[in-house]
Structure 1
Amino acid sequence: MPDSDDGKGDMVYLHPATYTHTSPQSTTDAGVSLAISNTFLPTAQLRPENPDLILLSSDLAFFYVHSQVLQDSSDNRFRSLLPAHCPGNEDEPFILSIPVASPVLNIILHGLYGLDSAQYLPSFPTLAEAVDSMQIYGINPKLTIQPSTPLFTLLLSHAPHFPMDLYSLAGHHNIEGLAVAASAHLLSYSLSRLTDAAAQQMGAVYLKRLFCLHIGRIDALKRALLPPPGAHQLTPGCSADQQRALARQWALTSARLGMDLRPDISTHALEFALLPLAAHLTCALCQNTLKARVRNLTEQWATVKEYDDFWSG
Structure 2
Amino acid sequence: MDMSNWDSVLQFASNSMDINLQEHDFSEFSTAATPDLQVPTPPHSTDGGSPVCDDPLDHNVLVSISTTFYPGANLHTLPPDLALLSTDSVFFYVHSHIILAASDNNFLSLIPTSSSKEQSNNMVIHVPELSPILNIILHIIYDKSCSHYSPSLETLSTAVNRLPSYGIDPKSRITPSTPLHTLLLSHAPLSPMEVYTLAAKHDIYDLAVPTSSHLLSFQLSSITDEIAEAVGPKYLRRLFFLHVGRSEALKRILLQPPHPHAPTPWCDFTNQKTLTRAWALASAYLAWDARPGFLESALAPLAEHLSCDLCKQGLNDRIKNLIVQWSVVKRTI
> Structure 1 length as normaliser, TM-score?
0.85
The equivalent position to 2:194 in structure 1, one of 146, 159, 165, is 165
State the SS of the aligned residue for 2:117. coil
Q: Is the 8 A contact 1:6 1:120 kept in 2?
A: no
Match of 1:153 in 2: 182
- After TM superposition, the structure 1 = structure 2 runs for residues 86-101 of structure 1, keeping only pairs within 5 Å, are 87=117, 93-101=122-130
Any conservation in 1 of the 2:185–2:211 contact (CA below 8 Å)? yes
- Asked whether the equivalents of residues 134 and 140 of structure 1 are also in contact (C-alpha less than 8 Å), the reply is yes
| C-alpha contact (below 8 Å) 1:6/1:103 kept by paired residues | no
1:138 Cα offset (Å): 0.8
Q: In structure 2, do the counterparts of structure 1 residues 38 and 239 end up closer, same or farther at CA, with 3 Å as the change threshold?
A: same
Distance 1:88 1:127 in 2: 34
Could you tell me which runs of 5 or more consecutive residues in structure 2 were left unpaired when the two chains were aligned: 1-22, 42-48
Q: Answer whether contact 1:229 1:247 (CA < 8 A) is retained.
A: yes
Matches of 1:228 and 1:212 in 2, distance apart? 27
Mapped to 2, the partners of 1:151 and 1:20 lie a distance apart of: 38
Q: Distance in 2 between matches of 1:285 and 1:123?
A: 55
CA displacement at 1:26 relative to structure 2: 4.5
Partners of 2:50 and 2:124 within 8 A in 1? no
Q: How does 1:1-313 map to 2 (within 5 A)?
A: 8-14=26-32, 26-30=51-55, 33-85=62-114, 87=117, 93-262=122-291, 265-266=292-293, 269-307=294-332, 311=333
TM-score (norm 2): 0.80
RMSD: 2.7
Q: Secondary structure at the match of 1:95?
A: strand
Render the CA deviation track for 1:211-240: whole Å, top value 9, x for unaligned: 122222222222111111112233333322
Worse-matched range after superposition: 206-215 or 242-251: 242-251
Q: Deviations over 1:185-220 (max 9, x none)?
A: 222322222121111111111111221222222222
Aligned-pair distance for 1:59? 1.6
Segments of 5+ residues of structure 1 without an aligned counterpart are none
Letter of the 2:29 partner, please give it.
M
Deviation at 1:161, TM superposition (A): 3.1
Residues 13, 6 of structure 1: CA spacing in aligned structure 2 closer, same or farther, 3 A cutoff? closer
Indicate if the aligned counterparts of 1:7 and 1:122 stay in contact, CA closer than 8 A: no
Q: Which has the higher contact order (CA 8 A, sep 6+)?
A: 1
Taking a change above 3 Å as real, the CA distance of residues 7 and 122 of structure 1, as seen in their structure-2 partners, is farther
Q: Indicate how the Cα distance of structure 1 residues 41 and 53 shifts in structure 2: closer, same or farther if over 3 A, else same.
A: same
SS at match of 1:185: helix
Q: Could you tell me whether the CA contact under 8 Å between 1:8 and 1:102 is conserved in 2?
A: no
Aligned-partner residue type, residue 147 of structure 2: A
Percent identical pairs in the alignment equals 46
Change (3 A) 1:286 1:20: farther
Computing the radius of gyration over CA atoms, which structure comes out larger, 1 or 2? 2
Which stretch of structure 1 is more off in the superposition, 55-64 or 186-195? Answer: 186-195
